[in-house]
Amino acid sequence: MTGTVYLVGAGPGAADLLTLRAARLLAEADVVLHDALVSAEVLALAVRAKIINVGKRADRPSVDQRLICRLLVRAGLRHRVIVRLKGGDPHLFGRASEEIAACRAAGIATETVPGVSAAFAAASSLGVSLTSRGVSRSVTFVTPSRGEGSPANAHWAKAAAAADTAVVYMGASQAAAVREALLKRGVPASRPVALVENASAADEHILRGVLADLPGLAERTGEGPALMIIGESVADVRAILNEASAA
Ligand code: SAH
């Protein structure tokens, strides 16, 4: 008998942003394989599981994706409940399809439990909507980061420039390149931007400015994961009025 591999969204960091389903599966899990971005508070819910860190961060030695797939298959053949815990939502910049394909090829069932993606945590922290009547009717999630083996192209920049609101994942270390790519495609240097580091966590850090400032803002972030949001909705006048009246 084989087990089931659950790809579980761990949310942006704060443990109480986990879904009830995620918390239940963590409590039942025999094995948990988790990413670098998953907080200790969330892992503490896996009371009986063997916990394996397969975290990848751009600046540290990474566990090869093929190895992660092999570990998942091996766990699926030996255990009943296997949780593959990923930051945010597993199906957004999470390489979930590769892991699902590897499990299915080995006859192991998979299920995904969605999570709160960083974009939504960051928008909540900013108090702005990613869409806003009269301001933003489109949102795009992009990354300038290619990942090993992917061909170079500028589709991300085209999509980000075309959207009313662009949410840039894994881009803070390439802020200058992001600014250049967007300016080149006609985005005004005055378009509002926000950088949110460690969204939803106690050490959350918010920086605001305009596209022209993006590299300077990114330099002021620390080691934590950071998201850049670019668009008029970041400076939506209604949100600003609310802030002013709350002050
Ligand atoms: N699947 C995840 C994204 C993984 S890619 C999700 O849905 O959120 C990793 C990138 O996500 C980071 O480089 C950063 O850009 C962003 N990110 C993840 N957690 C974050 C957080 N708490 N605050 C800000 N950005 C975050």
109/177 same-domain check: no
H or E stretch at 52: strand 50-53
59/156 same-domain check: no
| Pairwise CA distance, residues 74 & 185, whole Å | 47
State the pLDDT at residue 188: 98
Q: 54 φ, ψ to 5°?
A: -115, 30
Supply the residue whose CA is at minimum distance from atom 13 of ligand 1. Answer: 170
101/144 same-domain check: no
Domain finish residue from 54, 85, 113: 113
CATH number where 98 lies? 3.40.1010.10
Please confirm, yes or no, whether 170 is among the known catalytic residues. yes
Residue 246 inside a domain? The answer is no
Supply the residue whose CA is at minimum distance from atom 5 of ligand 1. Answer: 93
pLDDT at 58 over 70: no
Residue 146 inside a domain? The answer is yes
Residue 63 inside a domain? The answer is yes
User: For residue 88, how far is its CA from the centre of ligand 1 (angstroms)?
Assistant: 6
Domains of the chain: total: 2
56/134 same-domain check: no
> Could you list the residue range(s) of the whole structural domain that residue 83 is in?
4-113
Q: Which tokens in the block code for residue 138?
A: 């489109």
Query: Between 58 and 103, whose confidence is greater?
Result: 103
Please confirm, yes or no, whether 228 is among the known catalytic residues. no
pLDDT tens track for 60-80: 566 789 999 999 999 999 999
CATH number where 162 lies? 3.30.950.10
pLDDT at 59 over 60: no
Please confirm, yes or no, whether 56 is among the known catalytic residues. yes
Give residue 153's pLDDT band: very low, low, confident or very high (50, 70, 90). confident
- The pTM score is 0.94
Tally the residues of the chain: 247
| Pairwise CA distance, residues 213 & 155, whole Å | 23
Is the separation of the CB atoms in 110 and 208 below 8 Å?
no
